[in-house]
């Protein structure tokens, strides 16, 4: 059975990841390269492992996380769907079981809020891992010569972010340290509201409640503000 280690050794898939990240960098997007996909792979696997899923499901989440952004090679628009098609073909080339490919590509094709939703544990884990990777180190340094857009400002304001699971409490918590001298928390919600709602739905698929905590304030339910 194919593992994440096998995927990382494949020169074709490695090139697709590198080129998709480079494309977005030239377009001025936040960092989507090897660091990001490695983070998503590790975090998605960690989420399912901590919730007690079997080893193979955990491995499939790692593979889906590692390959989730290759569709950016062609264009940012609908990159989840494009990536799912591309990954299906490449994993078939490598001889992977079709049922497992469907799990992986279903997660990839549904990881963006514009046209996706959590369709299973692997999909939910990839969504949570992907949307939790927000912090100032992701800002595109090639874009420093232009006026920072809202995505740059928000990511620059995030000093730290941490996603963790409590199996006992059945909660998945995203904690963010946010510098309000850079921009306001409402700017965060302007671009992250739908992403956080997607995380809430993904957490529900995993049998958990999603918690968003920013500067020790907790946002719950309809994302209304309340003290933690």
pLDDT one-digit tens code per residue, 40-62: 999 999 999 999 999 999 999 99
What does the DSSP assignment read for the chain?
Answer: ---HHHHHH-HHHHHHHHHHHHHHHHTTPPP-SHHHHHHHHHHHHHHHHHTT--HHHHHHHHHHHHHTTGGGGT-STTHHHHHHHHHHHHHHHTT--HHHHHHHHHHHHT-STTT----SHHHHHHHHHHHT--SGGGS-GGGTTS---HHHHHHHHEEEEEEEEETTTTEEEEEEEE-TTTS-HHHHHHHHHHHHHHHHHHHHHTT-EEEEEETTEEEETTTEEEE-
Q: What's the CATH number for 4-227? A: 1.10.3210.10
Provide the residue ranges of all domains of the chain, joining segments of one domain with +: 4-227
pLDDT digits (tens, 9 = 90+) for 186-211: 998 988 899 999 999 999 999 999 99
Q: Tell me, what's the pLDDT at 220?
A: 59
């Amino acid at each position: 059975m194919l593992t994440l280690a096998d995927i990382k050794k494949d020169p074709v898939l490695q090139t697709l990841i590198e080129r998709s990240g480079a494309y977005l960098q030239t377009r001025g997007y936040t960092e989507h390269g090897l660091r990001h996909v490695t983070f998503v792979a590790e975090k998605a696997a960690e989420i399912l492992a901590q919730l007690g899923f079997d080893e193979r499901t955990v491995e499939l989440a790692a593979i889906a996380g590692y390959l989730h952004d290759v569709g950016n090679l062609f264009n940012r628009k609908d990159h989840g769907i494009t990536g799912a098609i591309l990954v299906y073909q490449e994993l078939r080339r490598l001889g992977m079981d079709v049922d497992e490919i469907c799990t992986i590509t279903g997660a990839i094709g549904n990881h963006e809020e514009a046209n996706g939703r959590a369709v299973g544990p692997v999909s939910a884990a990839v969504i949570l891992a992907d949307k939790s990777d927000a912090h100032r180190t992701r800002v595109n340094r090639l874009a420093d010569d232009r006026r920072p857009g809202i995505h740059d400002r928000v990511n620059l304001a995030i000093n730290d972010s941490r996603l963790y699971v409590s199996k006992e409490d059945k909660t998945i918590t995203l904690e963010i340290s946010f510098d309000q001298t850079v921009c306001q928390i409402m700017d965060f919600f302007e671009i992250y509201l739908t992403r956080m709602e997607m995380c809430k739905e993904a957490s529900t698929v995993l049998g958990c409640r999603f918690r968003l905590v920013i500067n020790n304030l907790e946002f719950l339910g309809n994302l209304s503000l309340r003290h933690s």
